[in-house]
Chains A and B, each alone.
Chain A
Amino acid sequence: MTDMSDLKSENQWMSEERKALLGKRHRTERRFKMLGLGAIFIALAMLVTLFVNITSKGYSAFVQTRFEMNVTFDETVIYPNGDRSAQAIRGASYGNLIRNTLRAEFPDVEKRRDLRSLFGIVSKGASRQLRKIVMEKPSIIGTTTAIWLIASDDMDMFNKGYIPRNVVEADRRVKDKEIKWFDHLDAKGSVQKVFNWDFFSSGDSREPEIAGIWGAMVGSFYTLLITFAISFPIGVMSAIYLEEFAPKNRFTDIIEVNINNLAAVPSIVFGLLGMGLFLNLAHLPRSASLVGGITLALMTLPIIIISARASIRAVPDSIRQAALGLGASRQQTAFHHVLPLSMPGILTGTIIGLSQALGETAPLLMIGMVAFIVDIPGNITDPATVLPVQIFLWADSPERAFVEKTSGAILVLLSFLVFMNALAVLLRRKFERRW
């Protein structure tokens, strides 16, 4: 009989050395696991920091400060020469009306410098407000009505708390006098924060308080429309060809290599292509959504092709064999049987590709969508800008209020992207078939 005690002593598994080593290995194991978890948390923390930062800067962009003032729609100001045409209403100096209103509200302001500051507490957009009101309802001329005028960007920032009171006056954008006038209005209850519909309905402006993203959104819409219209048919057709019909020869290889390469080319190179080809050679209109759309279509094409190929490949061969067996031609098989079954996957890939195109900025800078454009584009050849470019332009502006607007625009852009990605995920989940 073997001596068990001998075996035990030979057996080194549970010696003190081994136990210590085992403990060390377990500790290393735990540390390693913590490292992994830590990495994930750091990444998530960065994401959360980004969101919190932008949201904190931007949520106030959705409200607008307004002052309630009694505006006298003085006939002599609106019709200075007695000319009562619609033209005169349009061209009248509403700035004068506002100045009169302010002087009436604060009659003790005398000096020229002070007057300039006083006139500055109301936005430039206020005169446009008045013009719109008068043009819609000319009967208001001659009356004195209380109107909620848009406050200037400095007053807006002050009301929202971005400009502190307790700083030395020279370092503050809003002077003591202006604060006094603000407090006077506030005490009367004439200061209010309303939802900033202007942000969603007006185009770009020099005045941050009336600047809006509607022009950029329409521009983005047209651009994405063109991108979709060009890249989707071409992409799907290329994918069908490559998956269903292409013979395995050099030509096909070249096409495949090309598509993979294009997917990795930096976006700015596409911008240069757009500039060189579409602007200089084909003389297409500068800053138009058409050119932007074509450039982005070229960029999105590889993504759509790759994802379409993947979904077409996922359709099992039995479907194809069955169709061919029933006498369908290869094209009929591809278009009537395979394509409809792979459509959900293709759509998902397209939505993801389009959402990437929505966020692109660099190529559009090259083709000129970087000018100051106020009007909302009416068609695809009008000068336009897109939302990311608008964010870029506003990020460069010095007025403090533009920081808020930029963050607000970013929030709008991000919500669109989240929506599109959620749509893609939903589509995928709903139509996913387990073969």
Chain B
Amino acid sequence: MIKKTLGLAVIATVALAGQAVARDQIRIVGSSTVFPFATTVAETFGSKGAFKTPVVESTGSGGGLKLFCAGIGEGHPDVTNASRRIKKTEVEKCAKAGITEITEVKVGFDGIVLANSKATAPVKLTKQQIFMALAKQVPVNGKLVANPYKTWKDVDASLPNTKIEVLGPPPTSGTRDAFVELAMEGGAKKFPSLKALRKSDKKAFKVIAHTVREDGAYIEAGENDNLIVQKLTANKNAVGIFGFSFLDQNADRIQGGIIGGVKPTFENISAGDYGISRSLYFYVKNAHVGKVPGLKEYLAEFTSEDAFGEFGYLTEKGLIPLSEEERALVRSRASTLSKLNLM
């Protein structure tokens, strides 16, 4: 009898105490591209023994920023990873929720590759062809029509006669954002009709350039880039869109596509020659520093030479490091928690 009441009391206590007790573990959400790097840093950070290992969830850059900007408090994440820069609308959303001080940390470069299985010939495309293959609406004879191309050969006679089958990220993914902005927009600009539209009505141009077809040629393969890699090895005709690190880690099974004549290699991307490359970031809520133990030290670990330096353990995972000067700048910014200021 007593035991039963006691048990109920304990459970109720613990249940509600969970809300009252301060969280002592860093909570990180965000990009699936940055996920392998964040988890490695988290693990190394935790193994040093001073603080608990941060808990990292892969939700996609967009999903992560949404959770991040939902509010301040233990129930909200401390850090969000992003494979693209935070947008002004998101900063405003954060400000509305009371998050006025965000520290931005740039961690490195990443290339977006269009990869396929090594069992077939590598993909050779220009940005324009990418746009023509994947957009929902394409200009044909000066007019915008629903995308009629079913095979790569339809897009350009020099391409193979296989069905267009592209596995790519959903809108929650920063990779998707970066891909539509760099590759699709870059390709759309090549059409004179669309170029003119861009000058007159930028918003309408963006809608045309960024909308991806939904008739089955582009398959949204979830936030899990590893799964895309597995599907590529299973399906020789498919092409996958993901970050360079996944290509690097699976180079024995897949190969990167040549975009605009440039191969996606470490050197080409860090030199800036590869056409679809972007920077990787993570964002920290300054308001949580001091409340959640170890946040500052986590920043220090991520920005240490051991981690994102030229020979760091992140580089071995496929991260393309920033230049030495930029690294020093990022490190000092992170250690002083300098506030983000988007112009």
Contact = CB atoms under 8 A, between A and B. Distances in A.
Contact of A398 (B23, B39, B230): B230
Interface string A125-149: 0001001000000000000000000
Contacts of B306: 93, 95
Given A285-B18, A380-B14, A396-B227, A95 B313 contact: yes
A373 B43 contact: no
A284 interface: yes
A20 B77 CA distance: 81
A66 interface: no
A245 interface: no
Interface string A281-297: 01111011010000000
B43 A206 contact: yes
A387 B226 CA distance: 20
B230 A375 contact: no
A374 B313 contact: no
Interface string A82-109: 0000000011010100000000000000
B316 A116 contact: yes
A116 B266 CA distance: 14
Contacts of B230: 398
Interface stretch (B47-55, B137-145, B189-197, B330-338): B47-55
Interface stretch (B124-132, B245-253, B276-284): B245-253
A171 B18 contact: no
A371 interface: yes
A116 B42 CA distance: 22
Interface residues on A, range: 35 or more
Interface in B303-329: 306, 311, 313, 316
A229 interface: yes
Contacts, number: 90
B105 interface: no
Given A128-B47, A396-B226, A282 B249 contact: no
A229 B10 CA distance: 12
Interface string B166-189: 000000000000000000000000
A284 to B, nearest CB: 6
A132 to B, nearest CB: 9
Interface string B24-58: 01000000000110011011101111101101111
**Considering residues A203, A283, A371, which has the most beta carbons from chain B within 10 angstroms of its beta carbon?**
A371
B57 A372 contact: yes
A398 B229 contact: yes
Contacts of A23: none
Contact of B316 (A120, A287, A373): A120
A288 B42 contact: no
Contacts of A124: 40, 44, 313
Nearest to B246: A398
Contact of A290 (B14, B44, B48, B227): B14
A298 B56 CA distance: 28
Contacts of A283: 18-19, 75
A328 interface: no
B50 A381 contact: no
Contacts of B48: 90-91, 131
Nearest to A167: B252
B57 A371 contact: yes
B15 interface: yes
A193 to B, nearest CB: 23
Contacts of A230: 11
Contact of A90 (B49, B53, B118): B49
A282 B50 CA distance: 32
Nearest to A226: B11
A285 B27 CA distance: 12
Given A93-B306, A233-B4, A383-B25, A370 B53 contact: no
A372 B55 contact: yes
B224 interface: yes
B7 interface: yes
A171 B311 contact: no
B15 A290 contact: yes
A173 B39 CA distance: 22
A205 B43 contact: yes
A202 to B, nearest CB: 10
A399 interface: yes
A397 interface: yes
A24 interface: no
Contacts of A120: 316
10 closest cross-chain pairs (CB), A and B = A374-B53, A371-B57, A372-B56, A285-B18, A398-B226, A173-B252, A375-B53, A381-B18, A372-B39, A206-B40
Given A95-B306, A124-B44, 18 more contacts: A90-B48, A90-B49, A91-B48, A93-B306, A116-B316, A131-B48, A170-B252, A206-B40, A229-B7, A283-B75, A371-B56, A371-B57, A372-B56, A372-B58, A381-B21, A396-B224, A398-B230, A398-B249
Interface of A: 90-91, 93, 95, 116, 119-120, 124, 128, 131, 170-173, 203, 205-206, 229-230, 233, 282-285, 287-288, 290, 368, 370-375, 380-383, 396-399
12 contacts: A95-B306, A119-B311, A170-B252, A171-B118, A206-B40, A206-B43, A284-B18, A372-B55, A375-B53, A381-B14, A381-B18, A398-B230
